[in-house]
């Protein structure tokens, strides 16, 4: 095996893939959350549709989309591999195991939270991404732009979709609460001067991103935005 | 104190084990947990039953041999101590206490509560040393070392290789142990010539032994009797990346 092959098949090499893809997905969420938050301007989706058109028409963004899917798949596949390895590392389980005495429940449940997010992603992508990229957006807005906003408003009339989105954002919040600081630790960026900053930025990031995303379906369903 | 113990009994590494109930009475709250086990074992011997095998040596918290997983936590409910430093006053009269061996593929049970931790020895043998020529000891002041660095190396060197980090980690990962053993040398000038070779060899041996992968839950740091910090794992990761992606030295 080559030197790089050996590096990436080692325990630390597998972790660094999780860390890099995780940080990349964290950056993606900032862009995604900012653009979607344009609906809060409550201008009938005009600015939001403008943003959607920019994202759809920009070649760099389309290329980035491919990188994003590769990153996402790597994150999922690698986590499955790591979970398998980690299960194998303790073949006989404890009769009594008091995990809450020394660690947070969400740090021990990243696999479960991630699986919930994967289920959400299937619904989410078929709701919006498949429509905007493949099946086509049915209506156009006043500026003759594709009306992705209308698709969003229509999807969030269904209470079950709204419930699924809000619950998934709770999963996302806890996934990020551990994942944010954890990614930095895995990258080796643990420094007495910066660790407290990373920790608090991670907590604020997780809460702000999840609350903003969860507020979107709620605001549309309750008619606060129309 | 009267207590009910549920203790893991296992004949040898090949047979299946099970939890067996034992009653102990008139236990002094000032006894250590191991002394309570001595009392129980004496009872068993007097009844003609086989005593419970458990690891112990110095009984003053520095050798790292005692290794019981007590009520779901390594070395019991207190922080910063080993099992020999755990006293019965940490429990209440009438308590039921579950005692299991360390559980990890890399720590196979030898008998009852004793596990084979020689995988740690093999990791050390892979690179946890410095190569020096024999001869007169150097003048201590010939190698100046910043105080903060010397302290960090000393704190890493406090690791007694008990395996509590592996035992409590949900993934049975040995990264806290390995990173402490790498850091204590990586932080000092004497450790530099072999620094990038060491991290590669020791991580490779750790993986070969079948330990899990760290997911940064920080359970190891909370349970470590010597308070080894997770900063060591970050340092090990940095050294590993530098070794694999920058250094030209291959192992």
Q: What are the angstrom distances between the C-alpha of A221 and each of A119, A159, A217?
A: 22, 7, 6
Q: Does A178 touch chain B (CB under 8 A)?
A: yes
Q: Are residues B95 and B10 in the same domain?
A: yes
Same domain assignment for residues B222 and B139: yes
Boundary-marking domain end, from B65, B95, B111: B111
Q: Are residues B142 and B166 in the same domain?
A: yes
Average pLDDT on B123-143 reads 89
Q: Is residue B220 part of a domain?
A: yes
**Among B111, B131, B156, where does a domain finish?**
B111
My answer on whether B121 and B242 are in the same domain is yes
Residues B101, B19 within the same domain: yes
Mean pLDDT of B185-205: 96
Residue B167 domain-assigned? yes
Alpha helix positions (H), chain B: 33-46, 118-127, 147-157, 164-168, 175-186, 195-208, 219-223, 231-241
Q: With bands split at pLDDT 50, 70 and 90, how would you rate the model's confidence at B179?
A: very high
Instruction: Indicate if B30 and B92 belong to the same structural domain.
Output: yes
Cβ–Cβ contact A16 with B under 8 A? yes
A152: Cα separation from own chain's centroid: 18
DSSP 8-state class, residue B246: I
Report pTM: 0.94
Burial class (CB in 10 A: 0-12, 13-18, 19+), A35: middle
The pLDDT assigned to A1 comes to: 67
Rounded to the nearest integer, the mean pLDDT of chain B is 96
Other CB atoms closer than 10 Å to residue A199's CB: what's the count? Answer: 13
CB A29 within 8 A of CB A209: yes
The number of distinct structural domains making up chain B is 2
Over residues B84-114, the pLDDT tens digits come to 999 999 999 999 999 999 999 999 999 999 9
pLDDT digits (tens, 9 = 90+) for B134-169: 888 878 788 899 999 999 999 999 999 999 999 999
Q: Whole-angstrom distance between the N-terminal and C-terminal Cα of chain A? A: 58
A101 touches chain B (CB under 8 A): yes
pLDDT in tens, chain A (226 residues): 678 888 999 999 999 999 999 999 999 999 999 999 999 999 989 999 999 999 988 899 999 999 999 999 999 999 999 999 999 999 999 999 999 999 999 999 999 999 999 999 999 999 999 888 888 888 888 888 889 999 999 999 999 999 999 999 999 999 999 999 999 999 999 999 999 999 999 999 999 999 999 999 999 999 998 7
Residue B130: is its pLDDT beyond 80? yes
Q: Which domains does chain A have, with CATH numbers?
A: 3-87+104-221 (1.20.1300.10)
> Can you read off the two tokens belonging to residue B186?
């990586």
Q: Are residues B30 and B102 in the same domain?
A: yes
Residue B144 and residue B239 share a domain: yes
- List the CATH number of the domain containing B54: 3.10.20.30
Tell me, yes or no, whether B102 and B211 share the same domain: no
User: In this complex, do A102 and B219 lie within 8 Å of one another by their Cβ atoms?
Assistant: yes
Residue B47 structure tokens: 């009844």
CB contact under 8 A, A13 and B244: yes
Q: Are strands B73-74 and B96-100 parallel, antiparallel or unpaired?
A: unpaired
Say yes or no to pLDDT of B15 above 80: yes
Residue B247 has what pLDDT? 87
Looking up residue B241, the CATH number of its domain turns out to be: 1.10.1060.10
pLDDT, tens digit (0-9, with 9 covering 90-100), for B69-84? 999 999 999 999 999 9
Has residue B34 been placed in a domain? yes
Question: Which of helix, strand or coil describes residue B69?
Answer: strand
Structural domain harbouring B66:
3-111
A54 to chain B nearest CA, in Å?
Answer: 38
Residue B251 lies in a domain: no
Interface confidence, given as ipTM, is 0.92
Q: Last residue of a domain, which of B111, B145, B165? A: B111
Evaluate whether residue B191 is within a structural domain.
yes
- Confirm whether B177 is domain-assigned: yes
- Tokens read off for A123: 């619904």
Domain identity same for B146 and B230: yes
**B52 shares its domain with B131:** no
Give DSSP secondary structure letters for A78-137.
HHHHHHHHHHHT-SSPPSS--GGGTS-TTTS-HHHHHHHHHHHHHHHIIIIIHIIIII--
* Residue A103: partners with Cβ closer than 8 Å, 6 or more residues away: B170, B217, B218, B219, B222
Q: Per the CB < 8 Å rule, is A98 touching B210?
A: no
Q: Is B129 found in the same domain as B165?
A: yes
User: Count of CB contacts below 8 A, A vs B?
Assistant: 136
């Amino acid at each position: 095996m080559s030197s790089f092959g050996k590096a990436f098949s080692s325990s630390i090499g597998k972790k660094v893939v999780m860390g890099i893809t995780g940080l990349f997905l964290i950056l993606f969420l900032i862009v995604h959350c900012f653009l979607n938050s344009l609906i809060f301007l409550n201008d009938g989706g005009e600015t939001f549709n403008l943003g959607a058109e920019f994202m759809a028409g920009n070649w760099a963004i389309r290329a980035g989309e491919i990188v994003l899917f590769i990153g996402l798949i790597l994150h999922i596949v690698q986590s499955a591999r790591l979970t398998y390895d980690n299960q194998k590392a303790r073949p006989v389980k404890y009769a009594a195991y008091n995990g809450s005495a020394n660690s947070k429940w969400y740090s021990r449940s990243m696999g479960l939270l991630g699986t919930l997010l994967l289920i959400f992603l299937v619904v989410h992508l078929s709701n919006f991404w498949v429509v905007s990229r493949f099946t086509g957006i049915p209506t156009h807005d006043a500026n003759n732009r594709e009306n992705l906003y209308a698709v969003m408003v229509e999807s969030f009339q269904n209470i079950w979709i709204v419930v699924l989105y809000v619950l998934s954002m709770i999963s996302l919040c806890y996934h990020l609460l551990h994942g944010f600081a954890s990614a930095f630790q895995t990258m080796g960026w643990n420094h007495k001067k910066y660790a407290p900053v990373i920790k608090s930025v991670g907590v604020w990031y997780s809460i702000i991103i999840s609350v903003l995303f969860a507020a979107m379906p709620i605001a549309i369903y309750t008619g606060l935005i129309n | 104190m009267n207590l009910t113990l549920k203790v893991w009994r296992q004949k040898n590494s090949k047979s299946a084990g099970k939890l067996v109930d034992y009653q102990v009475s008139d236990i002094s709250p000032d006894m250590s947990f191991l002394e309570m086990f001595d009392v129980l074992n004496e009872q068993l011997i007097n009844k003609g039953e086989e005593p419970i095998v458990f690891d112990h040596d110095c009984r003053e918290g520095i050798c790292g041999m005692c290794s019981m997983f007590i009520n779901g936590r390594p070395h019991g409910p207190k922080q910063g101590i080993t099992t020999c430093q755990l006293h019965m006053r940490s429990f209440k009269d009438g308590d039921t206490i579950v005692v299991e061996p360390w559980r990890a593929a890399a720590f196979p049970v030898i008998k009852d509560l004793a596990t084979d931790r020689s995988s740690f020895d093999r990791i050390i043998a892979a690179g946890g040393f410095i190569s020096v020529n024999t001869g007169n000891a150097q003048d201590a002041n010939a190698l100046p070392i910043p105080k903060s660095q010397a302290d960090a190396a000393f704190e890493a060197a406090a690791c007694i290789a008990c395996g509590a980090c592996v035992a409590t980690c949900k993934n049975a990962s040995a990264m806290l142990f390995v990173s402490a053993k790498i850091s204590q040398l990586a932080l000092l000038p004497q450790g530099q010539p072999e620094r990038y070779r060491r991290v590669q060899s020791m991580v490779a041996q750790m993986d070969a032994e079948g330990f899990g992968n760290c997911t940064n839950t920080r359970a190891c740091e909370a349970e470590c009797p010597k308070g080894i910090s997770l900063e060591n794992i970050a340092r090990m990761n940095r050294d590993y990346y530098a070794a694999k992606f920058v250094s030209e030295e291959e192992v």
